[in-house]
Amino acid sequence: MYERFTQMKPLVLYRNLKYQKLFDDMERLLDRAGVLDAVPGPEVLPGDGGGAAVSAAGASLPYGAGRVQFPQGMTGIPGGDVTAPPDAYECANQLIELAADYGFEGNLWHCFLAFCLANHENAFSTACEIRGDVGGTLSHLARQDFAVFKELFDRDITKLDEMAGTGSRGAAGAGSMPAAGTDSADMPATGTDSAAGQPVRAGTAGLWHDLADFTPVGDGSRIFNRRVRDRIIELSVALGKAADVESFAVAVTQFYHEFGVGKYGLNKAFRIEENGHDARVIPVVNVEHVYFDDLVGYQLQKQKLIENTEAFLSGRAANNVLLFGDAGTGKSSCIKAVLNEYYDRGLRIIEVYKHQFHALSSVLEQVQDRNYKFIIYMDDLSFEESELEYKYLKAIIEGGLGRKPNNVLIYATSNRRHLIREKFSDKRELDDDLHVNDTVQEKLSLVARFGVTIYFGSPDKKQFQNIVKVLAERHHVVMPEEELLAEANKWELQHGGLSGRTAAQFIAYLLGTRSFSGEA
């Protein structure tokens, strides 16, 4: 069993991290590197089949080659016997994989620690999200944990190259190290530099020097949006420069205040994933970046939606919203614009499909105590006569025993004004109903639960042409206006009629089939 060389206080709040094993292994490696740097020349004893040992020069020996005897009391083990440390190359591999997933750059150890702080949901971090430092005992306990994290930030991962005693570019791992008793000065070159083809001798800058100044292949992240990724990298830099625990705590708390913590802090959109009877809220990584200025026209509709959303975010009374009307008029795009415009004010969206309505109660329980504002988003909402899912939705919005949380609203889009399919034959069926009004009210009761209804109608010819001209200018499509509009008219006759979607598809067609290079 490996023992710590130094006595670091255990974490209280920041336990059970997402990558806890990597955190523990890196802590032990850096702990070991620090002691080897401070206490040179431990005695190497013959191997007994145990773990890896360390030479007098600090070089790793093959597993089973020997063990190190430190002065009594140095390790806390009787006689100072030390067993195998974690695999440094495995730790390095995991840090590199995380950098590829999350888009980290610079000091990957610092980025990893900053991610651990940004992603961990605990009593302190969730209390601080969107609101800032809450003070009291929680703040005091958090600072004790921050003292541990600051000590880890202060550890220099390049010391791990010195502990290994070899440059990483040609190192093959612990098995390539010399046997016990070999003088490091007599060691041959260990491999070649893959870039220059030159031998790499012991002590040269190696793997961990590279990870201390890591340059990614691209500038994106497969998991976070770029803004959050950049902010985590900025947090890692700020924490690395923190002069003391208090300035360290201020930087972390400010991050929680601006972005929040965990999956709701690091993502803006979510969907529901069902596993048996359990409903999990899963982040949606790639969200379309649509803003209200991108939507041409429909100013009154946009303003009505903005006013309701701002009232919701400000803690004032706000209504559930139904956006209904003709296809391709920007209803769904308006919802995406709401998310992108107000994400930095704590707004999050959870997309729910019709077959998942039964899981809404579980979802609401998961988000009701968080400091964010959530919009439950239902796209293209409508029901056939035989579908009864709308009864679940009615109870969730209003009517059930449980009250809908104050931090949740429902926004839906539909091509149907009353959401439920209506036919002319319904009138004949009503003649057979004893209580006609009851049947009508049943069908209208769902849409009545949306306090704000916003109609999106198809544009007329003039409005359609204006949308085409604005989009053409925005995408640098330069051609005579008469020709542009004539082509647009032919396109809409063959592709779905007058709508903003048709106009956008027409511009995409021009961009794909004609060259406008060099035009501004």
* Range from 171-175, 183-187, 359-363, 507-511 carrying the lowest mean pLDDT: 171-175
Question: DSSP characters for 144-195?
Answer: HHHHHHHHHHHS-TTHHHHHHTS-TTT---GGGSPPTT--GGGPPP-SB-TT
Phi then psi for residue 234, to 5 deg, are -60, -40
Q: Are 166 and 35 in contact (CB under 8 A)?
A: no
Using DSSP's 3-state secondary structure scheme, residue 318 falls into coil
Using DSSP's 3-state secondary structure scheme, residue 335 falls into helix
Evaluate if residue 158 carries a pLDDT over 60: yes
b (16+ CB within 10 A) / e for 267-288: bbbbbbeeeeeebebebeeebe
Q: 279 forms bridges with which residues in the sheet?
A: 274
Listed residue (413, 270, 271) closest to 333, CA to CA = 413
In tens, the pLDDT along 178-216 reads: 333 444 444 444 444 433 333 344 444 689 999 999 998
Question: DSSP characters for 38-66?
Answer: HS--PEEEEP-S-S--B-TTS-B--TTSE
Q: Are 466 and 297 in contact (CB under 8 A)?
A: yes
295: region left, alpha or beta (phi > 0 left; psi from -120 to 50 alpha): beta
pLDDT score of 395: 74
In Å, how far are 79, 285, 468, 507 from 464, measured between CA atoms?
A: 85, 33, 6, 12
31, two tokens: 């702990």
In tens, the pLDDT along 311-366 reads: 999 999 999 999 999 999 999 999 999 999 999 899 999 999 988 888 888 899 99
Q: Where are the alpha helices (DSSP H) in 346-499?
A: 360-367, 389-397, 425-430, 436-444, 461-474, 481-494
pLDDT score of 443: 61
Using DSSP's 3-state secondary structure scheme, residue 376 falls into strand
70, two tokens: 């430190």
d(C-alpha 489, C-alpha 458), whole Å: 15
Q: How many CB atoms lie within 10 A of CB 303?
A: 12
d(C-alpha 200, C-alpha 198), whole Å: 6
- The structural domains of the chain, with segments of one domain joined by +, span 20-177+200-263, 267-456, 461-513
Mean pLDDT computed over every residue of the chain? 79
Burial class (CB in 10 A: 0-12, 13-18, 19+), 349: buried
In tens, the pLDDT along 235-266 reads: 999 999 999 999 999 999 999 988 889 999 88
Evaluate if residue 67 carries a pLDDT over 60: no
Phi then psi for residue 199, to 5 deg, are -60, 145
pLDDT score of 130: 76
432 pLDDT band (50/70/90 cuts)?
low
In tens, the pLDDT along 390-411 reads: 677 777 776 555 677 899 999 9
Pairing type for strands 278-284 and 269-275 reads antiparallel
Q: How many CB atoms lie within 10 A of CB 217?
A: 8
Kind plus residue range of the DSSP H or E element containing 256: helix 245-259
Residue with the two structure tokens 């802090």: 265
Q: What global pTM score does this model have?
A: 0.75
Using DSSP's 3-state secondary structure scheme, residue 230 falls into helix
pLDDT score of 58: 39
Phi then psi for residue 28, to 5 deg, are -70, -40
438, two tokens: 């009851």
Q: How many CB atoms lie within 10 A of CB 231?
A: 18
d(C-alpha 504, C-alpha 502), whole Å: 5
36 pLDDT band (50/70/90 cuts)?
low
Using DSSP's 3-state secondary structure scheme, residue 240 falls into helix
Angle between helices 88-102 and 20-38 (to 10 degrees): 130
Task: State whether CATH 3.40.50.1100 applies to domain 267-456.
Answer: no
Q: How many CB atoms lie within 10 A of CB 220?
A: 11
Angle between helices 226-241 and 245-259 (to 10 degrees): 170
Angle between helices 245-259 and 136-154 (to 10 degrees): 110
d(C-alpha 445, C-alpha 273), whole Å: 29
- The terminus-to-terminus CA distance of the chain in angstroms comes to 68
| More confident of the two residues 31 and 430 | 31
pLDDT score of 422: 57
